Structure 1
Amino acid sequence: MTTPRDTPTSRRTRANGDGTVYQRKDNRWEAAGYVLAPGNTRKRIRVYGTTRKEALAKRTEKIANSNRGLPIPSIQGSLAAYLTYWLENVAVHHLRENTHTRYTTCVNRYLNPGLGKKKLTKLTAKDVRTWLNQLRTTCQCCTRGLDAARDQPRCCAAATCCSKRLSPLTLAYIHSVLKSALEHAVREEEIPRNVARNVRTGTPHPRRFEPLTADEARQFLAAARNDRLFVLYELALRTGLRKGELLRLQWEDLDLGAGTASIRRTLQRTQTGGLTALPTKTRASERRIALPGECIHSFKEHREVQEGEREAAAEGWRDNGLVFSTPAGGPIDPANLNRSFRALLDRAGIRRIRFHDLRHSTATLLLEQGVELVVIKELLGHAHIGVTAIVYAHVRLRLQRDAIDSLSAALDGPSDHEPHRDDGYDPPLCGTIVR
């Protein structure tokens, strides 16, 4: 009787321990084995190769990954299909409505046209890097057909490309949306790793802003003195509160006796709910701040004015408990506040800035007064002190230069014509106040 050991090597189709491996009728080789699947289960997989060695190598790689605890991917669809699932079933429950709208626009405008047809399981870091490089050098007018909707073409339709390219900040934002989606796919064990994390886009420079100087700030407050929303502008400049935080501030949030204000909510306009009260931007944004003495006095006067508006509106008054409201008691639309702010700047003869630049002005002026960075971080409600340090790096650099100049003046010592002191007392080297 012939045993497997007696079988000549040339006639054997597989070696001991090879598992299932054979040549198919189409001349391809197929190898099968069991690997780890999502849910801590085992699943039989099949791999193919043009040679027996190639099929065995593929199966060995999958089994090795399985032994390291990496489950095999279970999604066989395209990246576009997964992004749709992620937006509709995951991101919608964890993001603000406006943020979810921006994510959806980013997916539909950039991710799906560029990478949507790629299989999720076969997406590589090289695919992401190549796509980002192409996106960085592509004119958006030509790609999105913006020129076709213009009355007078001035780009690709006019045979003169305007080279309207995406900014580094926009590219970084698109990359972050892709990373967030793939990170959730990893958590759900749909893919073994997030390939977008292996692509470096560089750290974009923060947007440049031009905060008010101390003289401009005094000029601004003097011009706003007779404005109906003077207290809002004063509070924004003295405390650095965000626009939405100011517009959602309620009288019950103020403790004028203790001189504090509790920031709990923010007002935003959404596509579905209109003007809506939402939680603060981050957990750190929900905070309690100290009120300047000037603002406490202004609040008392503002309340008397609001009571007069309540009596004038009579039954048309909408009692929302808001500190800053329309003459009828309703919430102020952020867009209307922007228009009023720009009109105030024009009347005051001050250069045009954004309303958010009042917040930057607060932080800049505090830094120039020598206030600690951690105190400014708590006042502004930043989640991490690194955010404060990065945004106001240019201010800190100027303060460092002033400090170094002051130290240099102290180290240079007295001039030659001053009498030399030799009374046994040596003053400290840094005798100059560093502002």
Structure 2
Amino acid sequence: MGTRAANNRSSVFQSTTDGRWYGFVTMGTKPDGSADRRKRSGRTQAEVTRKVRELERLRDENAKVAAGRSPRLSEWLEDWLKASALRVRPSSLYGYTTDVRAHISPAIGKHRVSDLEPEHVEYLYTVLLAKGLNVGTVHHVRRTLNKALNDAVRRQRIPRNPVTLAHTPRYDAPEIDPLTVAEARTLVAAAHDEPNGVAFMLAISLGLRRGEVLGLSWADIDLERGQLRVRQQLERRRWRHGCDDPERCDEKPAKCPERRDGGLVLAEPKTRQSRRTLPLPPQLVEALLQHRLAQRKARIYAGSEWHEQGLVFTTVTGRPIDPRDHSVHWVQFLERAGVRPARLHDARHTAATLLLVQGVDQRVVMDMLGWTSPTMTARYQHVVPGLVEEANRRMSELLWDDASASQPDITL
């Protein structure tokens, strides 16, 4: 029968109670500073000694091994969601939470994280497609699971990420369908007579996102210098329970009497590239001047009902415009202008397309649109045949310029 070892040393001994052998290994310290002692058991001394030596090897190689059995995937994902809340935007966290609780955990959440195989991930895809989810949604679920398991790899909970080895359903990104030049000109002209129509002008001409437009404040616009600064965006966040016991609250978060963290919120842009300064064409400067004058009149008319927040685009009482209402306004605006139906985001695609057609350098387009990856511009190449035509024209001028042809430079 073995004896207990001194502090910070491994020990192997036989229990006088049940006759089994037990081993303890000091792996280090826990997050709270207490000693991290791991226990292994077996029927024989040799079996336990082997388990103890394996733990010692992992400890000496500085490899982290979670105490006890590997957690089930559903448990790991819930812990991952809590950690993600510290570093991601509320909208991203909501998407992760939906993917985890509605799709991943019900399908494969009972598997131990250490036992996950690519086949389990492929089974998840099969289940989701059988439920009628589109391939785009399945890919969103894949990205969430991939992020979570990448963290498990980084923390040395598993040796490799099975998501990267699993076959993924083929996904073709939706075709970009920008407005034509004629349609864009029609809308810009019609926007002059539309309430908050300048917001649509900014989307078409500068490619601002919906939240960026609605989050603009007058402090972000320098009409004298003709510049606009994107530094915040308006977004709608989902409400959270504010009560002490959400599980016993009879209401959904949005109806909770002490709800918090929801509603329309001004937030920083998602990426560093999204924070940018753009020049304003003279026509936009004039349109913004007229818009500011109209807003001052609306403030006088609203009187005490006006809620001043310094925003460029507001309701008739100065409050922020709900992004969903702005999208509905866009659809109605297109119908009144006699232009085919299109998404509000297509106005941003239109700005990108028009810039590329005019031969603007792709790096400049990236900066203006606030893109983070050059692959974004590649998506537009097939919808701007003008780029090919312009390239051919320039090549013709270079190789078959008339002036050069009249005086050939021939060396014998």
TM tier, smaller: 0.7 to 0.9
Partner of 1:329: 318
Which region of structure 1 is more displaced relative to structure 2, 32-41 or 78-87? 32-41
Equivalence for 1:134: 126
Q: Which residue of 2 aligns with 1:69?
A: 62
Per-residue CA deviation, residues 56-107 of structure 1 (Å, 9 max, x unaligned), is 98888766655543222336332212222222x2122222222222211111
| CA distance in 1: counterparts of 2:43 and 2:57, whole angstroms | 18
The 3 A distance-change label for structure 1 pair 402 and 45 is farther
2:267 is paired with a residue whose SS is: strand
Tell me if 1:125 matches 2:117: yes
- 1:425 corresponds to 2:409: yes
Match of 1:248 among 215, 238, 245: 215
Please tell me whether residue 178 in structure 1 is matched to residue 145 in structure 2: yes
Specify which of 67, 80, 91 is matched with residue 84 of structure 2: 91
Name the residue aligned to 2:134: 166
Q: Percent identity?
A: 30
TM-score, structure 2 as length reference? 0.77
Q: List per-residue Cα deviations over 1:292-336 (Å, max 9, x = no partner).
A: 111111111111111111111111111111111111111111111
Tell me how far 1:129 sits from its aligned partner: 3.0
> Does the 8 Å CA contact 2:122/2:167 hold for their aligned counterparts?
no
Work out whether 1:225 is the aligned partner of 2:192. yes
Deviation at 1:220, TM superposition (A): 1.6
User: Which of structures 1 and 2 has the bigger CA Rg?
Assistant: 1
- Cα distance, 1:406 vs. partner? 4.3
Any gaps of 5 or more consecutive residues in structure 2? 1-10, 240-261
The answer to whether the 8 Å contact 1:71/1:192 transfers is no
The answer for unaligned runs of 5 or more in structure 1 is 1-18, 141-163, 427-435
Taking a change above 3 Å as real, the CA distance of residues 334 and 44 of structure 1, as seen in their structure-2 partners, is closer
> Matched residues in 2 for 1:331 and 1:42: separation?
52
- Which residue matches 2:229? 262
CA shift at 1:137, angstroms?
4.3
Deviation at 1:241, TM superposition (A): 0.4
Residue in structure 1 matched with residue 377 of structure 2 by the alignment: 389
**Does the C-alpha gap of structure 1 residues 30 and 389 become closer, same or farther in structure 2, counting only changes over 3 Å?**
farther
Q: Which residue of 1 aligns with 2:361?
A: 372
Deviations 1:153-211 (A, max 9, x none): xxxxxxxxxxx3431x2222111111222233344454444333443537733222310
- Aligned mates of 1:32, 1:99 — CA distance in 2: 44
Match of 1:93, SS state, is coil
The answer to whether the Cα contact below 8 Å between 2:176 and 2:383 also exists between their aligned partners in 1 is: no
CA distance in 1, matches of 2:26, 2:160: 17
Q: Is the 8 A contact 1:373 1:388 kept in 2?
A: no
Higher RCO structure (Cα 8 Å, ≥6 apart): 2
Q: CA RMSD in A?
A: 3.7
Q: Match of 1:311, SS? A: helix
Match of 1:16 in 2: none
In structure 2, C-alpha distance between the alignment counterparts of 1:308 and 1:320, rounded to whole Å: 16
Is structure 2 residue 296 aligned with structure 1 residue 307? yes
Render the CA deviation track for 1:334-373: whole Å, top value 9, x for unaligned.
1111111111111122111110110000001110110011
User: Normalised by the size of structure 1, how large is the TM-score?
Assistant: 0.74
Equivalent residue letter for 1:166: N
Q: Which residue of 2 aligns with 1:146?
A: none
Distance of 2:159 and 2:309 partners within structure 1: 51
Distance 1:406 1:31, change over 3 A: farther
For the residues of structure 2 that align with 1:38 and 1:191, how far apart are their CA atoms? 20
Give the Cα separation in 1 of the matches to 2:387 and 2:286. Answer: 36
Count residues in correspondence.
Answer: 372
